[in-house]
Amino acid sequence: MLNNNPMTKCTAGERYEATVPDTLDLADRMGLAVNALTNVWYPDEKWALGFIVDFSRRPTELYPSHITDAYLNIPAKFIEALTVCRLASGNTDALDSDLEVLRVQLDLLGEDGLTYCPTDALEQFDEPRPFSEVWGEGRLLLALSMLAQVDEDSRWIEAGKRKVDRLLALTREKDGFRFLWKGRFRPGETVPADADEPTVGIEDGSLADNDPVFSMIYSIGALGHGAALFYRVTGYEPALELAGGLARWALTRVFNNDDGRYTFWHYHHSLYALIAVCEYGYAINDRKILERVDACYRWVREMGDPLIGYFPEAMPGSDWYLGRAGNTTEICEVADMVLLALYLTRAGLGDYWDDVDRWVRNVYAEGQMRDADFLHDIPEDYFSSHPSERPHTDTQDIAQRSVGSFLGWMRANDGLHVEQTEEGPKLTGLSIMHCCTANGARTFYYVWDSIVTKESDEVRVNLLLNRASTWLDVDSYLPVEGKVVLNIKDASKVAVRMPEWCSLDDVHVSVGDRPCRYITDGRYVKISLLRPGDCVTITFPVPERDVHRVIGEIPYKLTMRGSDVVAIDPKGVALPLYENRSSGKPIQKMRFIPEIKDIIW
């Protein structure tokens, strides 16, 4: 029995009132995400997770899509996201629900270390049970890696080791790599002696086993990522063996072109397999592996819109892409691209800070649902008049409970997908899928953690976004005004990276009311001899321009200030984006600095 709630340790830290500009603040956004992350559960169904939010009906509906996402894949993602969102924001809301979810997840652990769905809940779903899902096991390794870093309870590492051992036994070796012959397993199942890479669909298989290549990609992503991170956190060598074998399969079968091109059609799952390869290359500091990942990143970046961070669900040219007029994007893809950009920059393969800055400020930030007021402005005839007949549908205050979620089927200008039907324009029944909520929330943490870093005796501000830290606080007035204020606590040397659109000749720096000399190093402005209590102000012009682009097969006119889209034409019709922009005015709010400082991710 788990009596101690490890999530409470994430919320311990320093809190203080501060006057800050009303601009994008990722700590606030993660605090908002906690609302969504804690309001999806079905307590009476062994804390199953409701996966889909449907705004096409009144009232808004939440429902579980299937057993896998209710108990295996997505709860693990939510645990990981809740850990880091509470850590960055200090949000203490609904901590009890976190504890109950953790207790159930521990209860679902089988004797072999895998997590098996319950047989006595969500009984209207008639899939043969119990079973475990490889993708969920990988996500659980990620969650266990986070829990092990915030809580000294040994069960997190022990559970991870048992998972790794069992999963390693379920793989087979071939040509120097490892593969999984399918993605779903029953208790006590063994691998057939003739098991090979799948070539046809597998009966009673996982969500992806109907497509052999998809099944392999699906298995590599979460499991390779989770195993490599678990190794980095614990040093457990079998985890490295598992991650390495899977990574070598991906490099042999999918990411095998020096110029980065690959042919798999699903944007998110290909990116997730690429993240797994990257995490492994990072873990063993293998330059050649990271160079291949970098080539793939630079190629796949051009398959979407790299200006604002619009990356489609399917690769351009694929049947699915061509079959969906204009296509849509889900935040999963955007978060994946941001994570790759951070990994590769941190590893010294490229300078992708500007990619991160543009994408976070635009599609990524706009893809988070910040309130439910937009529902009042949607014409009534956009909603469906047909009753819902889905099992376990919840209609209790779902719109408000979904605030903080990340959207799943966005256009470049609209958060909701509207289709033209014989009855006129209608909202589609798919509005939010909570895989995006977890991916979006957890990757915000990686960006937040990267805003301010320390290298030797120099504190670096890599992104001009609001951030409180033990070394200094960043107050960013962008995009309203070209001004960034640094409140110095413990940073005698500071380097501030200026974005690509900023001319370094136009940068002015003052400490207090006195001009200050600085030097430049690449895109960084460097300031020395600072003391606690100093207030450093950096000012610079912010250019505004109009840009015409075709995004998701639809032409748009974008008005941009610096990295930010401040207007888009044509406007969205259901949940218009780029309309609720920050004012830049000073506001009072609570800032939080967690006691737990160093998280490996």
Q: Is the pLDDT score of 325 beyond 70?
A: no
Percent of the chain exceeding pLDDT 90 equals 91
**Which residue reads 């439910």 in tokens?**
372
Report the distance separating Cα 564 and Cα 560, nearest Å.
Answer: 5
Answer whether 0.95 is exceeded by the pTM: yes
* Higher-pLDDT residue of 205, 267: 267
Q: What's the mean pLDDT in 210-235?
A: 93
Answer yes or no: is pLDDT of 426 > 60. Answer: yes
Query: pLDDT (tens digit, 9 = 90+) per residue, 326-345?
Result: 589 999 999 999 999 999 99
CB 248 within 8 A of CB 178: yes
Task: Tell me the per-residue pLDDT of 539-554, one tens digit each, with 9 for 90 and over.
Answer: 999 999 999 999 999 9
The arithmetic mean of pLDDT across residues 484-498, rounded, is 98
DSSP secondary structure letter of residue 329: B
pLDDT in tens, 287-312: 999 999 999 999 999 999 999 999 99
Domains of the chain: 7-15+25-450 (1.50.10.20)
Q: Given pLDDT bands bounded at 50, 70 and 90, which one contains residue 454?
A: very high
- For the stretch 250-294, pLDDT in tens is 999 999 999 999 999 999 999 999 999 999 999 999 999 999 999
Residue 208 has pLDDT above 90, yes or no: no
pLDDT of residue 126: 87
Query: Which whole number is the average pLDDT over 433-438?
Result: 97
Q: What is the pLDDT of residue 389?
A: 86
Residue 233 CA to its chain's centroid (Å): 20
> What integer pLDDT is reported at residue 327 of this predicted model?
80
> Do the Cβ atoms of 599 and 87 come closer than 8 Å?
yes
pLDDT over 80 at 458, yes or no? yes
Q: Which residue has the tokens 């070209």?
A: 482
Q: Are 250 and 304 in contact (CB under 8 A)?
A: no
pLDDT tens for each residue of 19-49 = 999 999 999 999 999 999 999 999 999 999 9
Q: Encoding tokens for residue 419? A: 């289709």
3-state helix, strand, coil in the chain (%, to 5): 40, 20, 40
pLDDT at 326: 55
Task: Identify the residue whose tokens are 């797994």.
Answer: 276
- The reported pLDDT for the residue numbered 218 is 86
Q: What is the mean pLDDT of residues 372-387?
A: 92
**pLDDT of res. 368:** 98
The answer to whether the bond into 479 is cis (omega within 30° of 0) is: yes
Instruction: Output the average pLDDT for the chain.
Output: 96
| Best CA proximity match to 329, nearest among 241, 412, 253 | 412
Contacts 24+ apart (CB under 8 A), 281-285: 281/247, 281/347, 282/228, 282/232, 282/343, 282/346, 282/347, 283/228, 283/231, 283/232, 283/240, 283/243, 284/240, 284/244
What's the residue count for the chain? 601
Per-residue confidence (pLDDT) for residue 219, from 0 to 100? 85
Predicted pLDDT at 270: 96
- Percent of the residues in the chain that have a pLDDT greater than 70, as a whole number: 100
CA 116 to centroid of chain Cα atoms = 25
Give the residue carrying structure tokens 């070394």. Answer: 471
Centroid of chain to Cα 400: 22
Q: Which residues are 509's β-sheet partners?
A: 538
pLDDT of amino acid 204? 79
